[in-house]
Amino acid sequence: MSKRKSKENCLTHGECISQAQRMLRERFCHQKIPGKPFGVESQHKHLLELLKRTAVHGESNSVLIVGPRGAGKTMLLNCVLNELLEVKHVQENVLQVQLNGLLQTDDRIALKEITRQLHLENVVGDKVFGSFAENLAFLLEALKKGDRSSSRPVLFILDEFDLFAHHKNQTLLYNLFDVSQSAQTPVAVIGLTCRLDVLELLEKRVKSRFSHRQIHLLSSFRFKQYLEIFKMQLSLPEDFTDRRFAEEWNQNIKSLYEDRSVEDVLQKHFCSSKDFRSLHMLLMLALSRVTVSHPAIKPTDLLEVSRLCTMDSKANILHGLSVLELCLIIAMKHLNDIYDGEPFNFQMVHNEFQKFIQRKSHSVHNFEKPVVIKAFEHLHQLELIKPMEGPSVRTQKEYQLVKLLLDNSQIMDALQKYPQCPTDVKQWAASAFG
Amino acid sequence: MSRYFTRLKKRRVYSWIGRPSFIDRKLKHVFYEGLCIKTDGNANTGCIRPGHYILIEGDEDRSYVAKLLKLYDDGTGTRSSKHAEVQWFVRFHEVPQNKRKQLGRDPHPNEVFLYEIPNCDSDIDAETIITTVQVQHLEEDSPFPAAQSQENPLYVKLSWDGKSFSPVNLDLLLQSGGKPVLPASSHTDSLPKPDLEVSRGLAVDSPSRPTQSARKQHSSTSKYSQSKELSDRQPSNVIFTPAARKKLQLSNSVKPPGSKLTRDDVLAELLDEDRAVSSLEAEVTRRRAVASKPSSSPSKKPRDLCIRLSPIRGGQITQDHQLANRIQIGPRLQPEELVKRTLKRESGAESTEGETPSKRKDSIKKDASLDILIEDGGEAGGPVVTMTPRSRRKSAQVSSARIRQQLNYLNRNQSTDFDVDDDEEDVFLPTKKDLRSSSEEEEESESESESVTGRRGSRSAVPRTPRSSRKAPSRTPAKTPNKTPRRTPSKTPVPRTPRTPRHATPSIPSRTQPTRKPGNVLEEARARLHVSSVPESLPCREQEFQDIFNFVESKVMDGTGGCMYISGVPGTGKTATVHEVIRCLHHAAEQDELPSFCFIEINGMKMTEPHQAYVQILQMLTGQKATAEHAAALLEKRFSTPAPKRETTVLLVDELDLLWTRKQNVMYNLFDWPTRRQAKLVVLAIANTMDLPERIMINRVASRLGLTRMSFQPYSYKQLQQIITSRLNRVRAFEDDALQLVSRKVAALSGDARRCLDICRRATEICEFSSQRSGSGLVAMSHVMEALDEMFSSPYITAIRCASVQEQIFLKAVIAEFRRLGLEEATFQQVFRQHLALCRVEGLSSVCMSEGLATCLRLGACRLLLLESSHRDLHLRVRLNVSQDDVLYALKEG
């Protein structure tokens, strides 16, 4: 009786699973910001204080957040901004401009975007009018008119900051930093970049105007913390609709966390990269294996997923090749060995292949040359070989110099796994000379 | 539309009238008596003669007002060889804005001020003259006449000497500014006082006078033209005399003929006394013959004068003077003396010169002098002239000394009389105008309508006065160079992009809550240490300040132009020092120690491409918007055409090196304009490198930049310390040692003051954080150390330590491969083999190629490794971006 009642209260099992999956996927895809960033408390505090001063005191600042990819730079910034905007009078006062070096590839586009995001007067609808020069002057004028005490502070967030440094003359950066160093509208210029040498990119006068505050996010955590993160990321929150499901789920995650094999998998992952994104990718794959019939993540899932993640892409391609193509690869391998990595052309490969055919004519069918060329071209399309010259150089196909993009070890591994590989071919591959 | 607004469309043809009347052999100047302006597409021609008031082409469709003093040809035969000397008038908008309040009332739209700055350039290109205009002198207190439908003359009440407004001194109104262009007898002018009835009468009908008098003149034209014809036939070019005389009669018939004639008579007498000048006398007598009313006998005059003087001698001058409504004598004395002296000089010169050329010269001089005499209301000249001969007489010398004494006394005491006097003058002055207009009546009669419309146009467009054209109306006196929004409408359409909505004033919305004020000492210190906070003074740059100040000041004082090149590494206070100099100079200009000037600033970094410099300069100078090409043309025109009333422009060009173009024409122009005589442009160019002129400039640009150079040395640690201390200004937030550490460290690295301030600011933050836990509240060594570490320590080592195990192994593999190859470069394939080997050694599970490449690319992304683009895959070349020692050091510790 009680069981039935509880069932009525709760969602069905399938619904629970799909809801949990949605929630966790949101988390893994960075759509939802975690409440508090992990392991970067001091940086968080530094940035928060800095932005607060801009927002509250109208002090202009500039700062760079530097860290390797996936270290949580954007997450940190978003956390800080969230926290900052919770304060009511800050939210009312602060203007934000978000730019990305990959989108705003030059200053003209960046200026238009800034003008648009600031809702300045030369914006009609979503269009920004005026020439580049006009826009620049207009924006500078706008910023210049403001002063510390009365204007709204503007937060300029420059994602992929290093790309802005490649803009002509670094005009945008110069002007933003210049505003931040002069008594104009208070601005905070926040740059996000993964390049440690970003300051060397700045021109000397731009550099001089930059305040040289850098917040380094270098993911200095240990494996233990990594495990914690793993657990935290997979756990469902307390306020999940179906509490019982959540409890079960979390219990399962806890057992995973304590599992030896899971730890090994994670250890390997941790060794290869501390990047949160790669962890998220792993978890995402594991999560997608969860179905109604398979309602929880098992250690085997993680093992399987980890194998998928660390699979060698080229070895996979090799498994799909025909025997002829494989033979050509082996011929190339021998050429590489003979000529010590020097480039070769189709004719050389063909000769090598012919030699093999003549020795072991019974094992492999003697293909016509056009067929061999076709196979060679297919390898080219798969990017297992790469021509030395660009496509503009017109040489006869047979004599075009190419290089093999496979390591010997990869070839040997692939041959081991290749289904029904003729033994002669295997032997040929293993032999020292063609 | 008035004529001169459309002048750009209609070409005007200028030609001299009359024969060259006087030749200055030394300068090869040929003087003419008039200038004929013919406008294309209009049959009318206008004639302009010395004494006329004219409109002169100004900048951007605005005209200047001036009075023509002299016309001459400089003999070069080029198109612009026609010159004119003028006495300038300024419109209210040409007066610097910070001085405008001195007027103490709203200016009449048609009001002009006599421009009395002594050494302004009064020489103009005659082909810039547009047309004539009427200028009336009003007394200071009198109301402006109501605007008339047909023609609105301009009114002169006050003069402007660059510092203050003062009542018009007729002396100056009638003589050229500074250079005595005209024979000195013009000085007699200030005195001509009408009998009161006359002046009253004139004052009464003065509002309606222009038209009336015009009518009168018309009525008398026939008579006048006769006399003119007569005079034209005369070789002595006494053209104006008859007309003027006639005008005298017309304008005040009440006037006793005697006083009018006295001047000529006296002149004649004076010349008589100089026995050598028989030719001149002949001329004078001839002229007398020409005059419509022949004189009474000269011999009577002296007595006459004596009689007039007698009341003065009697010591009852004040009373007599007031009762008789005679004009005050005080101010007369000096001019009288002047007249005497100059006449003497003139006659002396004549006596020495040869016959024919001197005669010519004489005649023109006399013409001019007479012209002037007439202009200022010649009939009133009685008293002056009467006194002149008196003082020349030996018998009168003793008494004259007494008189002088008396007069001085009166001068001092009777300021009220002065006022009265001024008023009378003012009231009377219009007659002078009438005289002028009557004298030019004939020539002008056809083109009258033209000039009238022109005048009306000038009035309707009051804000378009020439001077104001140079500054946007909204500009504050010059302290802040005008950066009015770019959206101001312009006359020159830029076709390529859709225009932004007009009049959009860019601004960042203002905040709803006020900013919080600094709460504690550290916050206060931080606010003070922010680079943006403007310090009260700039310490440690006194010498540089002084040099720049002297340079700019001297240029502004002299009204000349020049260039200065300032170099120095970033953060050494170049721009700040220049701004400080400008601030001081503005202050000086406000205190009237310096002519006012206008300061504009451009920055190579703040424009999208070098040619935008023109656009920005033009916009700041005039508020106009134009395309780069058009702006260049306008600026070129502006800086090459003379405009004497233009104030000096100080142009700061920051980040000069960015104005480099292949042909270097922007730089060339920037440095060429100051060399123009009329430009009055001072260019201060700032860049970072000392050898920029030699390095990037072609010879003709470098040569124009000149050798006035200055370089700002990086700050020494003592200077940095001083800068911080002066900024902190007794806010005690730092321990002394801490300050010293910062300044020493920064001085050793770059000497960049910005960096120094930033470190200090960061140190206060660190101190604040730590003092929440514990601490004294003072920024100590440890805090500064931490800040320095944050800013200067290389992140590489930490980054390597924080890298994942695989990444670390990959770095090791890179070094191993480098050692094996003996090169600093390896392909990924080679490194990866090492990597696999290392993994085996370390006992780690081996990684596949894809993972290895991913690791490699991650290291490349944060620039621990330098990589080629990843499409080369296995053959990707790998180099280290850190020294091998650093890598090994980092990995050993970890």
Quote the CA–CA distance of A414 and A122 in Å, as a whole number: 62
Count other Cβ atoms within 10 Å, centred on residue B534. 12
* CA B96 centroid distance within chain: 9
Using an 8 Å CB-CB cutoff, list chain A residues near B605.
Answer: 169, 171, 174-175, 178, 205
Using an 8 Å CB-CB cutoff, list chain A residues near B656.
Answer: none
Chain segment B117-132, per-residue pLDDT in tens: 666 667 777 777 777 7
CB B109 within 8 A of CB B459: yes
Contact status of B449 with chain A (Cβ, < 8 Å): no
Give the pLDDT score at A373: 92
Give the pLDDT score at B856: 92
* Residue B42 reports pLDDT greater than 70: no
Sheet holding A187-193, edge to edge: A95-100, A154-159, A187-193, A61-66, A213-216
Q: Report strand pairing: A402-404 vs B12-17.
A: unpaired
Q: Hey, which residues does B283 pair with through a beta bridge?
A: none
Q: Which of A57-71, B222-236, B632-646, B701-715 has the lowest mean pLDDT?
A: B222-236
Mean pLDDT of B826-835: 91
pLDDT bracket for residue B832 (50, 70, 90)? very high
Chain segment B801-811, per-residue pLDDT in tens: 888 899 999 99
Quote the CA–CA distance of B677 and B642 in Å, as a whole number: 8
- Percent of chain B surpassing pLDDT 90: 15
Give the pLDDT score at A386: 87
Three-state SS for chain A is CHHHHHHHHCCCHHHHHHHHHHHHHHHHCCCCCCCCCCCCHHHHHHHHHHHHHHHHHCCCEEEEEECCCCCCHHHHHHHHHHHHHHCHHHHHHCEEEEEECCCCCCHHHHHHHHHHHHCCCCEECCEECCCHHHHHHHHHHHHHHCCCCCECCEEEEEECHHHHCCCHHHHHHHHHHHHHCCCCCCEEEEEEECCCCHHHHCCHHHHHHCCCEEEECCCCCCHHHHHHHHHHHHCCCCCCCCHHHHHHHHHHHHHHHHCHHHHHHHHHHHHHCCCHHHHHHHHHHHHHCCCCCCCCCCHHHHHHHHHHHCCCHHHHHHHCCCHHHHHHHHHHHHHHHHHCCCCECHHHHHHHHHHHHHHCCCCCCCCCHHHHHHHHHHHHHCCCEEECCCCCCCCCHHHCCEEECCCHHHHHHHHHHCCCCCHHHHHHHHCCCC
CB contact under 8 A, B849 and A407: yes
Using an 8 Å CB-CB cutoff, list chain B residues near A67.
Answer: 862
Q: Across all residues in chain A, what is the average pLDDT?
A: 85
Go through chain A and tell me how many residues it has: 434
Q: Quote the tokens at residue B691.
A: 């050898």
Nearest-Cα residue of chain A relative to residue B830: A407
CB contact under 8 A, A194 and B862: yes
Give the pLDDT score at B418: 42
Chain segment B348-375, per-residue pLDDT in tens: 444 444 444 444 444 444 444 444 444 4
Written as one letter, the residue type at B75 is G
Contact status of B837 with chain A (Cβ, < 8 Å): no
Chain segment B264-313, per-residue pLDDT in tens: 554 545 555 544 444 444 444 445 444 444 444 444 444 444 344 444 44
* Residue A50 reports pLDDT greater than 70: yes
Q: Across all residues in chain B, what is the average pLDDT?
A: 67
CB A271 within 8 A of CB A19: no
Nearest-Cα residue of chain B relative to residue A64: B791
Chain segment A348-363, per-residue pLDDT in tens: 999 999 888 888 777 7
In the stretch 559-578 of chain B, residues with CB closer than 8 A to chain A read 569-571
pLDDT bracket for residue B566 (50, 70, 90)? very high
Residues 6+ apart with CB under 8 A from B577: B538, B541, B544, B545, B548, B712
Residues 6+ apart with CB under 8 A from A192: A64, A65, A73, A74, A77, A157, A158, A159, A160, A161
* Residue B697 reports pLDDT greater than 70: yes
A·B CB contacts under 8 A: 256
Quote the CA–CA distance of B314 and B307 in Å, as a whole number: 11
Chain segment A302-320, per-residue pLDDT in tens: 899 988 888 888 888 888 8
Residues 6+ apart with CB under 8 A from B222: none
In the stretch 787-806 of chain B, residues with CB closer than 8 A to chain A read 790-791, 795-796, 798-799, 801-806
Give the pLDDT score at B653: 93
Using an 8 Å CB-CB cutoff, list chain B residues near A406.
Answer: 874
Contact status of B855 with chain A (Cβ, < 8 Å): yes
Minimal C-alpha gap between A303 and chain B (Å): 14
Q: Quote the tokens at residue A403.
A: 């290089």
* Residue B894 reports pLDDT greater than 90: no
In the stretch 319-358 of chain A, residues with CB closer than 8 A to chain B read none
Quote the CA–CA distance of B529 and B760 in Å, as a whole number: 7
Nearest to B500 among A107, A134, A315 (CB): A134
Q: Hey, which residues does B687 pair with through a beta bridge?
A: B567
The ipTM, to two decimals, is 0.91
Q: Report strand pairing: A127-128 vs A123-124.
A: antiparallel
Quote the CA–CA distance of A313 and B811 in Å, as a whole number: 23
* Residue B325 reports pLDDT greater than 50: no
Give the pLDDT score at B680: 86
Quote the CA–CA distance of B309 and A173 in Å, as a whole number: 82
CB contact under 8 A, B862 and A68: yes
Which ranges of B569-643 does DSSP label H, i.e. alpha helix? 574-590, 612-622, 628-640
CB contact under 8 A, B608 and A121: no
Q: Report strand pairing: B681-687 vs B648-654.
A: parallel
Among left, alpha and beta (phi > 0; psi -120 to 50; other), residue A204 is alpha
| Residue with more model confidence, B291 or A101 | A101
CB B71 within 8 A of CB B31: yes
Nearest-Cα residue of chain A relative to residue B499: A130
Nearest-Cα residue of chain A relative to residue B807: A272
Give the pLDDT score at B455: 42
Mean pLDDT of B368-383: 42
Sheet strands (E) in B477-571: 562-568
pLDDT bracket for residue B880 (50, 70, 90)? very high
CB B114 within 8 A of CB B173: yes
In the stretch 721-740 of chain B, residues with CB closer than 8 A to chain A read none
Count other Cβ atoms within 10 Å, centred on residue B358. 18
* Residue B216 reports pLDDT greater than 90: no
Handedness of CA B516, B522, B528, B532 (dihedral sign): negative
CB contact under 8 A, B523 and A57: yes
B772-785: buried (b, 16+ CB within 10 Å) or exposed (e) per residue? eeeeeebbbeebbb
Nearest-Cα residue of chain A relative to residue B873: A405
Mean pLDDT of B515-544: 81
Give the pLDDT score at B151: 57
Using an 8 Å CB-CB cutoff, list chain B residues near A69.
Answer: 858, 861-862
CB contact under 8 A, B802 and A194: no
Minimal C-alpha gap between B206 and chain A (Å): 50
* Residue B200 reports pLDDT greater than 60: no
Residues 6+ apart with CB under 8 A from A251: none
User: End-to-end distance of chain B based on CA atoms, in angstroms?
Assistant: 85
Using an 8 Å CB-CB cutoff, list chain B residues near A187.
Answer: none
| Residue with more model confidence, A31 or B607 | B607
Contact status of A56 with chain B (Cβ, < 8 Å): yes
Contact status of A12 with chain B (Cβ, < 8 Å): no
In the stretch 114-153 of chain B, residues with CB closer than 8 A to chain A read none
**Chain B interface test: which of A147, A212, A221, A226 (most B C-beta within 10 Å):** A212
Chain segment B702-754, per-residue pLDDT in tens: 888 888 889 999 999 999 998 888 888 777 888 888 889 999 999 998 889 99
Chain segment B385-418, per-residue pLDDT in tens: 334 444 444 444 544 555 555 555 545 544 444 4
| Residue with more model confidence, A65 or B331 | A65
Chain segment B471-511, per-residue pLDDT in tens: 333 333 333 333 333 333 333 333 333 334 444 556 677 77
Among left, alpha and beta (phi > 0; psi -120 to 50; other), residue B465 is beta
Using an 8 Å CB-CB cutoff, list chain A residues near B626.
Answer: none
Chain segment B589-640, per-residue pLDDT in tens: 998 888 888 999 999 998 888 999 999 999 898 888 888 999 999 999 888 8
Mean pLDDT of A153-176: 92
Give the pLDDT score at B458: 38
Count other Cβ atoms within 10 Å, centred on residue B494. 18
pLDDT bracket for residue B331 (50, 70, 90)? very low
- Percent of chain A surpassing pLDDT 90: 22
Contact status of B427 with chain A (Cβ, < 8 Å): no
**Chain B interface test: which of A51, A218, A380, A389 (most B C-beta within 10 Å):** A218
Written as one letter, the residue type at B62 is R
Give the pLDDT score at A162: 93
Tokens 């040289």 map to which residue? A212
CB contact under 8 A, B795 and A196: yes
CB contact under 8 A, A216 and B795: yes
Minimal C-alpha gap between A9 and chain B (Å): 47
Residues 6+ apart with CB under 8 A from B830: B817, B821
Give the pLDDT score at A175: 92
CB contact under 8 A, B769 and A45: yes
Chain segment B243-255, per-residue pLDDT in tens: 334 344 444 444 4
Which contacts (CB < 8 Å, 24+ apart) does range A384-388 have?
A384/A314, A384/A317, A384/A318, A384/A329, A385/A332, A386/B872, A386/B873, A386/B875, A388/A343
- Phi, psi (deg, nearest 5) at residue B518: -55, 130
**Chain A interface test: which of B484, B486, B827 (most A C-beta within 10 Å):** B486
CB B648 within 8 A of CB B555: yes
Minimal C-alpha gap between B660 and chain A (Å): 12
CB B350 within 8 A of CB B398: no
Give the pLDDT score at B11: 65
Mean pLDDT of B38-48: 67
Nearest-Cα residue of chain B relative to residue A67: B862
* Residue B818 reports pLDDT greater than 90: yes
pTM exceeding 0.90: no
**Chain B interface test: which of A180, A203, A211 (most B C-beta within 10 Å):** A211
pLDDT bracket for residue B812 (50, 70, 90)? very high
Mean pLDDT of B750-759: 90
Nearest to A93 among B487, B513, B758 (CB): B513
Contact status of A95 with chain B (Cβ, < 8 Å): yes
Using an 8 Å CB-CB cutoff, list chain A residues near B875.
Answer: 386, 403, 405
Quote the CA–CA distance of B91 and B112 in Å, as a whole number: 5
